[in-house]
């Protein structure tokens, strides 16, 4: 697989700014400006849905950074997304205050129901947005750093790394299901009221969250492009294609992998934090190994090793999922599996490389012996 261009060229920058501006400005404007009965008005329910797609795109970028460019397939990347979501959910729960189901209770409703007498120590600080925002990045980042430190120093690679990352997210799934963990058990965290003083149910707040999500998606894309265009990015590509040679040349494969894995986890955590206030809930199902496998399918369908492909794959597959689960819900898993098979066998470069692949197929083959006849 060929490497991506070093950075956006002049035409690429123009497209990036044009599409980014259109997504950031036009979508909220089409929801806010036209009259309620206007055919031009974008329905209210589409704003948080599009915001969710942007969060999924950030998650796909985070996986593509390590899988597409460093050859590290993590099948537990949904864990970092969920941890970032829980950190934001804890902040949102603390903002409820005494407005919960249990009047005048200063603890979250689920803690009152379970007869908790005081707030656990690990909930301290989450009544402040700045602290919660730091934890969104710090918690997934620390987990990825510690996990990657042991895994990469032990030279665990390939399918073995994929298996242990899947075991990690499954262990977290089981842990967060427990009521005594203090994270809401099976029900998780929900019934959010406001974020930074703004009602999360107001359409203006939803539009603002959508805009922040799109801007974060653009920032994540640029950060990933900067990494893959740097010397570190070239080392990551070399590790993907020939790790033994990179070690022989004296480069530290462990440090490069650890940096990419940690940055990837932080990006996933940011995506999870933006996702939670838009969907209104975070529960242990986000740790499901099946979710992490689905993320890998997004990247494969879009085209791994091409950051644009990760964006396309995340948005396209989830748009298809939104439509199909409403129209023919029992067919979705079969379609998802079929997409992965097609992406592997028919268009291995994904949607991003499909145009180039079709152009190659249309190119006429030279006639056999034509060169000799011309002489």
* Mean of pLDDT over the chain: 88
pLDDT at 359 over 70: no
**Alpha carbon distance 139, 155 (integer Å):** 24
340 lies in some domain: no
| Arithmetic mean of pLDDT, 188-211 | 94
Asked if the structure places residue 195 within a domain, the reply is: yes
**372 or 152, higher pLDDT:** 152
Q: Would residue 362 count as lying in a domain?
A: no
Q: Is residue 153 part of a domain?
A: yes
Does residue 99 belong to any structural domain of this protein?
Answer: yes
Report in angstroms the alpha-carbon separations of 231 from 53, 106, 152, 249, 354: 31, 51, 20, 14, 28
Report pLDDT digits (tens) over 283-341.
999 999 999 999 999 999 999 998 999 999 999 999 999 999 988 989 998 999 999 89
Could you report the per-residue pLDDT of 106-133, keeping only the tens digit for each?
A: 788 888 888 888 899 999 999 999 999 9
What total of structural domains would you count in the chain? 1
Full DSSP string of 322-345: HHHHHH-GGGHHHHHHHHHHHHHH
In a domain, 319, yes or no: no
239 versus 103: the higher-pLDDT residue is: 239
The reported pLDDT for the residue numbered 353 is: 81
Q: Give yes or no for residue 1 having a pLDDT over 50.
A: no
Contact 6, 307 (CB under 8 A): no
**What is the predicted pLDDT for the residue at 266?**
98
- Is residue 108, in this structure, part of any structural domain at all? yes
Q: Which domain holds residue 203?
A: 10-288
Of the ranges 8-17, 156-165, 214-223, which one carries the lowest mean pLDDT score?
Answer: 8-17
* Per-residue confidence (pLDDT) for residue 166, from 0 to 100: 95
Report yes or no on 315 lying in a domain: no
Q: What pLDDT is recorded for position 369?
A: 53
Question: Residue 360 — very low, low, confident or very high, per pLDDT cuts 50/70/90?
Answer: low
% of residues, the chain, pLDDT over 70:
90
Residue 373 binned pLDDT confidence (cut-offs 50, 70, 90): very low
Own/partner long-range contacts of 234-238 (Cβ < 8 Å, ≥24 apart): 234/3, 236/69, 236/70, 236/260, 237/3, 237/69, 237/70
Indicate yes or no: pTM above 0.75. Answer: yes
């Amino acid at each position: 697989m060929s490497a991506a261009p070093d950075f956006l060229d002049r035409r690429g920058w123009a497209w990036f700014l044009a599409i980014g501006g259109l997504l950031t400005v036009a979508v909220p404007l089409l929801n806010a400006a036209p009259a309620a009965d206007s055919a031009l008005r974008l329905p209210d329910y589409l704003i948080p849905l599009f915001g969710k797609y942007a969060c999924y795109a950030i998650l796909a970028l985070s996986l593509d950074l390590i899988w597409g460019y460093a050859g590290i397939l993590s099948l537990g990347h949904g864990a970092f997304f969920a941890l970032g979501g829980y950190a934001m959910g804890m902040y949102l729960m603390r903002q409820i205050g005494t407005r919960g189901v249990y009047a005048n209770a200063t603890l979250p409703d689920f803690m009152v129901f379970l007869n908790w007498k005081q707030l656990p120590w690990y909930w301290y600080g989450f009544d402040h947005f700045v602290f919660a925002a730091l934890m969104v990045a710090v918690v997934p980042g620390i987990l990825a750093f510690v996990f990657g430190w042991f895994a990469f120093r032990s030279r665990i690679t390939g399918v073995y790394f994929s298996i242990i990352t899947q075991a990690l997210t499954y262990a977290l799934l089981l842990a967060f299901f427990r009521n005594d963990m203090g994270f809401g058990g099976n029900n998780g965290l929900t019934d959010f009221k406001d974020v930074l003083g703004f009602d999360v149910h107001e359409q203006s707040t939803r539009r603002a969250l959508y805009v922040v999500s799109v801007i974060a998606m653009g920032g994540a894309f640029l950060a990933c492009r900067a990494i893959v265009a740097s010397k570190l990015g070239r080392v990551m590509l070399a590790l993907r294609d020939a790790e033994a040679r990179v070690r022989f040349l004296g480069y530290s494969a462990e440090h490069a992998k650890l940096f990419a894995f940690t940055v990837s986890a932080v990006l996933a955590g940011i995506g999870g934090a933006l996702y939670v206030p838009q969907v209104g809930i975070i529960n242990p199902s986000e740790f499901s190994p099946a979710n992490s496998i689905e993320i890998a399918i997004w990247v494969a369908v879009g085209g791994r090793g091409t950051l644009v492909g990760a964006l396309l794959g995340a948005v396209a597959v989830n748009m298809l999922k939104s439509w199909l689960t409403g129209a023919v819900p029992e067919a979705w898993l079969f379609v998802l599996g079929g997409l992965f098979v097609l992406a592997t066998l028919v268009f291995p470069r994904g949607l991003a490389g499909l145009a180039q692949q079709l152009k190659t197929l249309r190119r006429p083959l030279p006639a056999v012996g034509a060169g000799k006849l011309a002489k």
